Amino acid sequence: MSVPAWPDELFEELVAGDVRQVAYVPDAGHKRLIERSLAAPGIEAVSLTTEEEGVAMLAGAFLGGQRGVLLLQSSGVGNCINMLSLPAECRIPMLMIVTMRGEWGEFNPWQITMGQGTQASLEAVGVLVNRVESAADVAPTVRASLALAYNTGRVVAVLLSQKVIGAKMFKKGDTK
Per-residue confidence band for 121, with pLDDT thresholds at 50, 70 and 90: very high
Q: What is the 3-state secondary structure (H, E, C) of 95-160?
A: EEEEECCCCCCCCCHHHHHHHHHHHHHHHHCCCEEEEECCHHHHHHHHHHHHHHHHHHCCEEEEEE
Which range of residues forms the domain containing residue 102? Answer: 6-165
pLDDT for residue 170? 58
- pLDDT at residue 2 is higher than 70: no
Domain assignment of residue 170, yes or no:
no
Domain assignment of residue 144, yes or no:
yes
pLDDT for residue 13? 96
CATH of the domain at 155: 3.40.50.970
Number of domains in the chain: 1
Domain assignment of residue 143, yes or no:
yes
Q: What is the mean pLDDT of residues 148-165?
A: 93
Nearest to 51 by CA among 30, 75, 87: 75
Domain assignment of residue 171, yes or no:
no
Domain assignment of residue 133, yes or no:
yes
Which is higher by pLDDT, 29 or 65? Answer: 65
Domain assignment of residue 1, yes or no:
no
Per-residue confidence band for 164, with pLDDT thresholds at 50, 70 and 90: confident
pLDDT for residue 29? 87
Each as own residue / partner, the long-range contacts of residues 145-148 (CB below 8 Å, 24 or more positions apart, any chain) are 145/95, 146/13, 146/14, 146/17, 146/19, 146/67, 146/69, 146/95, 147/17
Q: Pick the range with the lowest mean pLDDT from 26-35, 39-48, 86-95.
A: 26-35
Q: Pick the range with the lowest mean pLDDT from 30-34, 66-70, 104-108, 142-146.
A: 104-108
Per-residue confidence band for 9, with pLDDT thresholds at 50, 70 and 90: very high
Domain assignment of residue 115, yes or no:
yes
Over the stretch 69-107, which tens digit does the pLDDT of each residue have? 999 999 899 999 999 999 999 999 999 999 987 677 666
